[in-house]
Amino acid sequence: MIRGDISHFLTLLYAVKYWWFQVGKIIRRIASFFNTTILFFSKFGLKSINAKIDFGDLSKLEKKQLSSDELFLFVDGLVDSETLVGENMKNSPHFELMSTIDSQKSLDNCEYIIRAQEGRLDMRAGTFYDAKFYLEKFQALKNDFELNKVTPLLVFPLDDKYFILDGKHRAAYFALKEKPIEAYIVMSVKNQPFLNNVLKKMHSNNSVNFSKNISLLEKAL
C-alpha cells in the first residue's frame, strides 16, 4: 500500500512539473511578444525569461580561433553554492553532456540534465526535456561539425580568459574533439541593459550570496 502511495505521489509530482513547464513556455511567449525581460529569484538563484542581449552586426567583430583551454563560463545567475561561473569549458556540465552522449553512455545520471531539470544550470528555470531531445541536438551539432557549418561563438575577453556569451554546447563539442573553434570577440558588454539589470537585481537581494557572479559582472561592466 505504501509503495502504491509513493508511486501515485511521484506521478502527481511529475504531472505538476510538466504543467508548470508548459506555463513557463506560455510566459516566455508573452514576454517575447511584448519585447520584455522578466527577472525573478528561485531557491537556486536569479532566473530570467526572454533575456535580451544584442551585439549588433556580428560581421563587424573580430574573429579568432580559440582552444578549449581559453574558454570559460560567464555569468549564470546561480548562488555561490551552485554557480559554475568561471569554470573552464572542460570542467563544465556541457562538456560532460557531450562526452556522455559521444561515448554512448546512459544519460540517467548526467549532471547537465539533472541541473537543467532542477534549474541549477544557468538563468533559465527548470526544463522538461528528455534524453531524446539532447541526443537529437547532439546529432545536429555533429552534422554541422562534419560539414564545417558550426556558427562561431560569442566571447568576451577578460583577465586573459574568454568568457562564453553564446555557444556553450558548440564549445563543449569542439573541446570533446580537441579542436579549436572560431569565435566573435565582443570587446565590451558595458552597454548591455540586461547584464546591468542582473547586477542590480543581485545586489538587491541581501539574503542570498551571489558574490562570484557579482565579482565577475562588476569587472565586466
Question: pLDDT of 110-154, one tens digit each?
Answer: 999 999 999 999 999 888 788 999 999 999 999 999 999 999 999
Residue 1 has pLDDT above 50, yes or no: no
How far apart are alpha carbons 119 and 123 in whole angstroms?
A: 8
The three-state secondary structure class of 154 is strand
pLDDT at residue 135, as a whole number: 97
Taking Cα atoms as reference points, which of 161, 158, 165, 156 lies closest to residue 185?
156
How far apart are alpha carbons 30 and 2 in whole angstroms?
A: 42
> Strands 62-66, 181-185: parallel, antiparallel or unpaired by DSSP?
antiparallel
pLDDT at residue 30, as a whole number: 63
pLDDT level of residue 38 (50, 70, 90 thresholds): confident
pLDDT at residue 129, as a whole number: 86
**Taking the model in full, what pTM does it have?**
0.87
How far apart are alpha carbons 75 and 85 in whole angstroms?
A: 6
Q: DSSP states of 56-90 as a string? A: --GGGSEEEEE-GGGEEE----B-TTT--TT-BGG
pLDDT tens sequence across 143-164: 999 999 999 999 999 999 999 9
C-alpha cell at position 159: 583577465
| Per-residue CA distances from 186 to 7, 86, 183 (Å) | 50, 17, 9
Instruction: Provide the strand spans (E) within 56-213.
Output: 62-66, 71-73, 153-158, 161-166, 181-185
The number of angstroms, rounded, from the C-alpha of 165 to the middle of its chain's C-alpha atoms is: 9
